[in-house]
Structure 1
Amino acid sequence: MRYLYILFCLSFLFSCQSDTSLNPQTKTEILLSTTWQIQEVIASGYLNGTVYQRGRTAEGSQYDMSKVRLTFKSDGTCIAIDNTGNNSASGKWKLINNDTQLQISDTNYFVLDGIGNIETLIKSEFTFSGTRTYKSTYVDASVRMVPVP
């Protein structure tokens, strides 16, 4: 009986310790906690409306982004998988302006490289927006990402 009591106390003690990988708190910890996939892209400018939405038929989305993945590393690098799922690029990332914006550079993907405004960053959703140039025209886009299951 005494051993059961000791085991109970130890298990309680370990369960009370916080593990940031299980319960990320800061924006950095949340970004690092998972690999992100695109759930939805809404744009205006050269492209208009819902450009992509996960689960929508091909006729309902202008572009297939179902294979796009983005993984943030603690050393300030990131890995991006393109829409074919076959090509990857590494780059750099950092939070700027009091963690209200995300800057990604050196991926050579015009969609990713640049500064985005963080709209939502919680464990289940990461939404950011920004402006990029596509075919010599500006595109304003909001990208909602979710963890890869």
Structure 2
Amino acid sequence: MLDALEVFTTVVVGLMVGVEFSVAFVINRILDALPGDSGQLGRAHGGRMLGAVMPVWYIGSLVLVGVWAVVERHQSGTGLVVTAGALLAVSVIMSILLLVPINNRGRTWTPDNRPADWEQQMGRWDRLHYVRVAVVVAAFTFLVAALV
């Protein structure tokens, strides 16, 4: 049972890391290269779609890591799991305080109502997202290390 929790948690977090990595280094680069308003419209749609899913994924991942840490608190490797949980908590706090407000604005924008500085706001979101990706990659790395 505990092995299943460890594997399930690691897979859930790993898939989340993959999605976030893809957004940072693939999807947004593709959207930025599209002509005209297509990229901005794509970002708005992505903000709506992922904005609905990612909070559940982030919180769910944090809860799973917390359960793992509590259930196996006397096992070797628990410090790695706790560190992963702390990093995931940082990513959640960072998301709520820094990224979500930008995303909530951007997902409503159209070519007719977007602000003049929309590109700068998306650039700031991208830079903050790179940091968040680094944090969740580190968390995932600690989880994998805890498995071995």
Q: Normalising by structure 1, what TM-score?
A: 0.24
Q: Write 1 or 2 for the structure with the bigger share of strand.
A: 1
Q: Write 1 or 2 for the structure with the bigger share of helix.
A: 2
Greater relative contact order (Cα 8 A, min sep 6): structure 1 or 2? Answer: 2
